[in-house]
Amino acid sequence: MTEGSFDLYYWPNIPGRGEFVRLALEEAGASYRDVARLPESEGGGVPALLAVLRGERGRPLPFAPPVLVVDGRLVAQVANILQVLAPRLGLAPESEPLRTEALQHQLTIADFVAEVHDTHHPIGSGAYYEEQKAEAKRRAEQFLSSRLPKFMHYFESLLDENGGRYMVGSSLTAVDLSMFQVVRGLEYAFPNAWKHFAASVPKLVQLADDVSRRPNVAAYLASPRRLAFNEDGIFRRYPELDEA
């Protein structure tokens, strides 16, 4: 079940880290505003997001988006947002030990997403990709040969040990939705590498397919609310960084 309405603040033109929050809201059929995607005349746009980051919309001051307004307070960091949000949306396990486990997995996903980002910005996020292409090539090679298998085989083992259908507990949680986004992001960013790797994580592939067919998720994916992966986000497709 859902409780109340929510305001999400994130960059308006990329799925990025905000997508992990959007997927939970959409699966639950929650009422929310993606504020920076609203016209400035309606209090939206990038200025609204920047005002939040300057502390003009409340406390505690967030370091970076996404930021979700919950009961009038600001909550930042994807794993933290989902820890607060998922129980309200019916997307958290019932028991406290399993909720702690879900948070653990969500934090590991956040670690992995940061490593994906570093494949195209290994030197610094303030520099353009074109200014660090040589370093990005080396970083991507190491990521595809070592880090991707280490993380994804770990996630596959979690899914397998939990019965193969859900990452934690006995019903869909925000962790499953986040894993869907990770799988789809890897398919986009590294299509050649993923084509060769996917067979080693069949349960994750099946999980992503199952999530994509859930009625609310499927409707969202087909709607203009779903932002396509692009070369301004975390999962970027640069052929020179992908395995042949």
Compute the distance between CA of residue 45 and CA of residue 29 in angstroms, rounded to an integer: 23
Question: Does residue 225 belong to any structural domain of this protein?
Answer: no
Q: What is the pTM of this model?
A: 0.96
Helix extents (H) in the chain = 18-28, 45-53, 78-89, 96-120, 133-142, 148-161, 174-189, 191-197, 202-212, 215-221
Q: Residue 130 sits in a domain of what CATH number?
A: 1.20.1050.10
Mean pLDDT of the chain: 96
Q: Are residues 45 and 135 in the same domain?
A: no
Residue 90 reports pLDDT greater than 60: yes
Residue range 11-24, pLDDT digits in tens = 999 999 999 999 99
Q: Are residues 52 and 106 in the same domain?
A: no
pLDDT band at 1 (very low <50, low <70, confident <90, very high): very low
**Residues 6+ positions from 160 with CB-CB distance below 8 Å:** 203
Residue range 70-83, pLDDT digits in tens = 988 999 999 999 99
Residue 98 reports pLDDT greater than 90: yes
Domain that holds residue 192: 96-213
The pLDDT score that the predictor gives to residue 71 is 87
Residue range 142-184, pLDDT digits in tens = 999 999 999 999 999 999 999 999 999 999 999 999 999 999 9
